[in-house]
Amino acid sequence: MAYQPPSFVRRLRLLLLAFAVVVGLFLLADLTLTRIDAAHVGIRVKLAGSARGVQDIPIVTGWVFFDPLTEQVIAFPTSVQNVIWTASAHEGRTSDESITFSSQEGVNVNADIGLSFHIDPALAPHLYLRFRQPDLLVLADGYVRNAVREAFNDAASRMAVQDIYGAKKGKLVADVGTKLRDVLGKDGFIIDQITINGALRLPENVAQAINRAMEATQIAIQAENRVRQVRAEAEQAVAEAHGAAEAARQRAEGEADAVLIRARADARANEIIRLSTTGAVLQYRALQRWDGKLPTYQAGDKLPLLTFDLGRATQNDAEREKKLNELLAEDKARDKTVPAPATTPATPASSTPPATQ
C-alpha cells in the first residue's frame, strides 16, 4: 500500500501551489498589462517581424494587454505642452536658449520665445515612427525649436527692423504661427500659441537710432495735431465772426423794418387824422383854446382873429370821407379784434361854432 502524506501536508502543498499561481499571475499581468491614462494615447508597436508602416500601428486606450516579447505599448501625451526659450537663468533652463533672427537689413534681433502645442492623436503613430521619441519635450527642444527659429528668420527677412521693433511685431508673430502650422502640422503638431515674451533685444546703436526715429515721429505727430487744433480754432473763430455778422445784419434789418413799419403807421395815422379833420372842427378847436384876447403886432396893434372859410372846406367832404372809410376798412381787415374808429371826429353835430369877435 502506497504512502499517504498527512492531510496537513497536502493542504500545505495546495496552499503553496495556489500562492505560486497567484504570484505568477501578478508577474504576468505586470509584464503583459498596461494602462493608458487620460490625456494620453497609446500606440502598439511590433518588435518582431518585417518593418511595418504607420497604418499597421494601432492606437489603444485604457487597459491594454500585449505580448512583451513581440510588442511594446508607447504612451504619447495629448495634453497641451508649454515650452519657453529664454536668456534668463530664472525661467526655463539656466542656459541661454533665446532665439536670434535677422531682419530685412540683416540686423540681428534676439527674443525670448514661448510656445504651446499638443499632438493630434490620429498622427501619434506617424510621429513615433519618424522620430522614435515619445518624450515631447525632447522633440520640442530639438526638432520644434529648429522649426521655430527658421520660421522667425523667414518671416523677419521680409520686414524692416523698425517694423519688427515697432507696430508690426504682432504681424511677425502671426506670420511665424502660420508657417509653423504648415511645417509642423503634417507631423501631428498642433500649434496653440506662440509669443514673444518681453522686449526684443537689438544692437545698442540700432536701438538708439530706432528710439530717436520714434521720438521724431511722435514730435511730428504732436505738431500735426497742434496744427489741426489751431486750424480748428481758426475755423471756429471765423464761424463765430460770420455768425455775429449775420446776427448783426439780421438785427439791423429788423430794426430798419421796425422803423419803416412805425413810419408807415405814423403816416397812415396822420392821413387818417388829416382826412377826419374838417374846417369846422379846426375852427371849433381854435375857439376852445382862445383866451378872449386878440393877438397884437410888435408895435401894439391888434390882429384880427384867425377864421376859416367853411364853405370852401366843406366842398370836398364826400371825397375825403370816402378815402377815410377805405383806410379804416383796411385797418379793420388787418386786425379784426380792433374796432374800427368812427368815420368822423367826435364833434357836436348840432352845435354851431361860435362867431368870431
pTM listed for this prediction? 0.52
> Residue 355: what pLDDT?
43
> Residue 118: what pLDDT?
92
> Residue 182: what pLDDT?
93
| DSSP characters over 311-326 | HHHTTTHHHHHHHHHH
| Stretch(es) of the chain classified as CATH 3.30.479.30 | 81-202
The domain defined by 81-202 folds into Tetrahydropterin Synthase; Chain A (3.30.479)
> Residue 191: what pLDDT?
93
CA–CA dist 287, 347 (Å, integer): 14
Largest Cα–Cα distance in the chain?
A: 206
> Residue 348: what pLDDT?
44
pLDDT tens-digit profile, the chain (357 residues): 555 556 766 677 677 777 666 666 566 555 555 667 677 777 777 766 554 544 456 566 656 655 566 666 777 788 899 999 988 877 767 788 899 999 998 889 999 999 999 988 888 888 888 888 878 888 898 999 999 999 999 999 999 888 888 888 999 999 999 999 999 999 889 999 999 998 888 888 877 777 777 777 778 888 888 888 888 888 888 888 888 888 888 888 888 888 888 877 777 777 777 766 666 666 666 677 766 666 665 555 555 555 555 555 555 667 777 777 777 777 777 766 545 455 544 444 444 444 443
Cα–Cα distance list, 12 to 3, 4, 16, 23 (Å)? 17, 14, 6, 16
Spell out the long-range contacts of 127-136 with Cβ–Cβ below 8 A and sequence spacing 24 or more: 127/76, 127/187, 127/188, 127/189, 128/43, 128/45, 128/57, 128/74, 128/76, 129/53, 129/54, 129/57, 130/187, 134/74, 134/75, 134/76, 136/76, 136/77, 136/81
> Residue 325: what pLDDT?
75
Q: Residue 97's closest CA among 163, 149, 159?
A: 149
Q: Which 8-state DSSP code applies to residue 347?
A: -
User: SS3 of 150, please?
Assistant: helix
| C-beta separation of 121 from 86 below 8 A | no
